[in-house]
Structure 1
């Protein structure tokens, strides 16, 4: 195992990676197609999951193209960074010589990231955007000292810059909010126009994670999606519009969900969206099999290749198998620096899971029996068919959305991938890509059964109340409903499974109500399955569970359970303690159904 390989996890600045001689998987071969090809793609939107290298690649483009503003024509910075670094990057080859002469260090570049733009309410998010725009004004402040610029442009530049610095905290005021929104929508075109006038060269505009503000607007405590959409649409229209001034060379935008083309970029000129399966960029983000094999060999970890593939392989981008770069780099760092070669779920703790969590917390669709069955199929390694959805807006997961909408989001965000042989549009087949994502699915499934999920938790509380009141008709209906929602028929072959199911429901809820809860407690001459004991109310519910294969035998199984309660005298312990109500209840399970038989209050029968 090599200890000499340097990994800069979390560093997304290309120059830092190169200058510190850190490990870098070469993606420079894509630059020529993107920046100087006959495809006439003027503006490109790249859709990829979080942590798949979008930010690093966009910064690489920025560093390669950026003009030396103080000394135009000086390309020594790029020469050192991309050519004379001893790495033999693709772009340093002789076949890229003409490309380097025409593109490298030749363009003013405006680059902005929306990755951290969020807020509990609209004004807070606008404040974050103003901060980002203020950084651009600081970067290009030198333009205000130029004799080539119109005095009115310089005056407006300085006014906007001062607003970003001094008025950011006052955006809660209506007039300041309006002015802030106007600056956000016009800052990049204003700066770009001045750069074009200054150097006589067209400008490249890069926007990273354009959709983060929209996602955060949906899940905010006070949602403000429409207001944020209006800002992003105005901003993109002013930058990429069809009738803009001739200062734009190319626009390069990244995001997670394929929402943009129908809404945010309606007025854009020649905007092309490149999804996971769109050539020629299927290998531009993420690590291919060949790149991964080399990475592991360079780290002395080739013997771990099989295990690494199980954990981090499986994404299908076009015809390529793609590994998550964040997970691989994190794994190799742990292995080489900490001697820890045990795979871990690195990616799932860093990706944007807010929308996924909101679905499981709020949507009734996440509790639909058929949908739960599909989720379980996925977790068992099976493929699932869905209809791929194209979004014109972000789905409102606070309300009911379809399973197909949810799974399309999961596909875009990296939780599932296209199965081998699947079409990649309309009707598609999906699967969980690897063990890392399976771990995440299992964690998400725990949300469905935990106290943090209000739907499941409230159902459990209701069931305890019904059983402690001996309301067996409603209890039977509720348990049957929950069985259909949460259990897969493939998992109902063992009585212990139903036992665990009931424990998961009743244990949590009983504790909340301050009832004593026991499993396999010794009572009478045997051990009853479950006992819920309210000493304060002198009420106890004794549950005996039986499983049968056939639905028609379910009632008989419940009768058998009640007979066992009588035969083994489970009630005597509580009757001797002068309990007023001792309910004996037998439950028979078969597949996804149940029958309940109650013996009534056994205290009355003894008396």
Structure 2
């Protein structure tokens, strides 16, 4: 127990050697080494969400396999770890030259800066292996120095992975291990910032040369968030094996198992209720396991058991926010189901072509799964297509959606305008609601880039925004039956003494030469004729607000019933 007292909790330390040498608490994932060796795979890609321990695991692989100077041996780093039980695996410790690259911080606004950072990572690795110059011909030395000094052209850097592996094999008389961490971080940034094709072109050449037909290669392991479609980057790498959390392989090597979470909480003397910890940070399906978000658990321990949204605060979620804003009305309806704690069934595909995300909801659903913003259950094959039930894994991730939905309107009209509109609605001030909604809609419709006269995008975004903002005090429902039809939006207060609301939206029919006034009157008449307020009356509400709202392009009109 005296030894245990010396352990520290690490936040953001992803260097395996530092973690062990400085006596930080380590959740033992060393059997990843055995699984990689047993697989006999030449090239393995292990996609997992961000902050799921990918970089630390890759650092562990480097420390295990890399042959080092006799004065800097790393064997002691693995004393007492699970891998030490397997003598056949330990025979591989410290036996191979290793190329280790991480692209996790290559996220820039412009391709020129991205390319510079990619080159810097490659230059750094060439510098680390500068001793191989002693084994090179004069021509090879010139080529090596062009890369090491950063003066080489695009062709020099695209062939750098292949060249360095061949040089290392010659120097060590042993085939090379190549470990590439977060290979797709530059691709995500490129998609968001508009230089996607440039990055894909470079990565296809760089990885293709180093991993396809490389006689110096022993094995390679890569991590990232997505499996970017094979035809985009991995064309021709026929020995590539991809293991996402849909498969059983490696399913307990990323993320914390519940037994590991219990052990960590106990070690640091925390008495958090396990059910609460589950609701906040568990719920990710990984093969047959349910795993916890490791970044969140580590921060929970660091902050002495305080529940916060640790994971969602590690990124600005720019890509997710942008994609959700532009998704179809049909997808927004499904998101409404999810944020209420429901499930939706969707086809699952592991290959992601980033440029298809905006064109195809199915690709976006899969992007959300593999990025960690959704999880899945009941994964199964139906005829020739895999399906699964999708759901939000936990409270922490649910917060991401709520913040995104609320912030849609903050960018379009400002949170003040949005909050004033909601406040007038829930307090029953119908006159103020009419005024604030019309102003709010005018500003927000411009932000949502409405096409034609259909308000679907704005309408579904509004429902999600209301749901996110009011769910602690109200139920927000849409397209539900009441009376003799389906209302558009109903807001039901948990406190039945407060006012309830029914809203019917109408788009102006220009073919019928409608005006905003006529369309809003039709909406109000439909609301009354079909008794849409029946559900509120049945619940015992005595104050019921009724609004008919008409849209014409970026104009709107609210009539009070």
8 Å Cα contact 1:293/1:302 also seen in 2: no
DSSP 3-state at the match of 1:262: coil
Match of 1:123 in 2: 112
With the length of structure 1 as denominator, give the TM-score of the two structures: 0.70
For residue 265 of structure 1, report the CA deviation from its aligned partner.
Answer: 1.1
Count of matched residue positions in the alignment of Structure 1 and Structure 2: 471
1:214 aligns with 2:206: no
1:234 aligns with 2:193: no
For residue 415 of structure 1, report the CA deviation from its aligned partner.
Answer: 0.7
Residue 5 to residue 381, structure 1, CA distance change in 2 (3 Å): farther
Q: Write the mapping of 1:71-470 to structure 2, written as runs, cut at 5 A.
A: 71=70, 77-83=73-79, 88-93=80-85, 96-101=86-91, 103-144=92-133, 146=134, 148-162=135-149, 164=150, 179-220=152-193, 223-242=194-213, 244=214, 246-335=215-304, 341-351=305-315, 353-361=317-325, 363=326, 365-366=327-328, 368=329, 370-391=330-351, 393-395=353-355, 400-419=358-377, 421-423=378-380, 426-452=386-412, 463-464=438-439
For residue 279 of structure 1, report the CA deviation from its aligned partner.
Answer: 2.4
Structure 1 unmatched runs, 5+: 168-178, 336-340, 468-476, 503-543, 558-585, 600-607
Q: CA offsets per residue over residues 127-180 of structure 1, 9 Å max, x none?
A: 111111110121011122x2x332221222123222x1xx5xxxxxxxxxxx54
With the length of structure 2 as denominator, give the TM-score of the two structures: 0.76
For residue 466 of structure 1, report the CA deviation from its aligned partner.
Answer: 9.5
For residue 48 of structure 1, report the CA deviation from its aligned partner.
Answer: 0.4
- The whole-number CA distance in structure 1 between the counterparts of 2:320 and 2:73 is 43
8 Å Cα contact 1:447/1:453 also seen in 2: no
DSSP 3-state at the match of 1:272: strand
- The whole-number CA distance in structure 1 between the counterparts of 2:161 and 2:15 is 22
Q: Write the mapping of 1:46-65 to structure 2, written as runs, cut at 5 A.
A: 46-65=46-65
For residue 197 of structure 1, report the CA deviation from its aligned partner.
Answer: 0.7
Q: CA offsets per residue over residues 471-496 of structure 1, 9 Å max, x none?
A: xxxxxx88898546533326715387
For residue 277 of structure 1, report the CA deviation from its aligned partner.
Answer: 2.1
From 588, 596, 601, the counterpart of 2:547: 588
- The whole-number CA distance in structure 1 between the counterparts of 2:499 and 2:364 is 28
Q: CA offsets per residue over residues 256-280 of structure 1, 9 Å max, x none?
A: 0121433211121411001012222
- The whole-number CA distance in structure 1 between the counterparts of 2:503 and 2:319 is 27
For residue 390 of structure 1, report the CA deviation from its aligned partner.
Answer: 4.3
My pick for the range that moved more, 45-54 or 134-143, is 134-143
Q: CA offsets per residue over residues 16-51 of structure 1, 9 Å max, x none?
A: 00001100000111212202x2x4311100010000
Larger Rg: 1
Aligned structure 1 segments of 4 or more residues deviating by more than 6 angstroms? 457-462, 477-481, 495-502, 547-550, 554-557
Residue 481 to residue 21, structure 1, CA distance change in 2 (3 Å): closer
CA RMSD of aligned residues (A): 3.6
Match of 2:26 in 1: 24
For residue 384 of structure 1, report the CA deviation from its aligned partner.
Answer: 1.1
8 Å Cα contact 1:42/1:269 also seen in 2: no
Structure 2 unmatched runs, 5+: 422-434, 443-452, 464-476, 481-488, 505-519, 534-544, 550-555
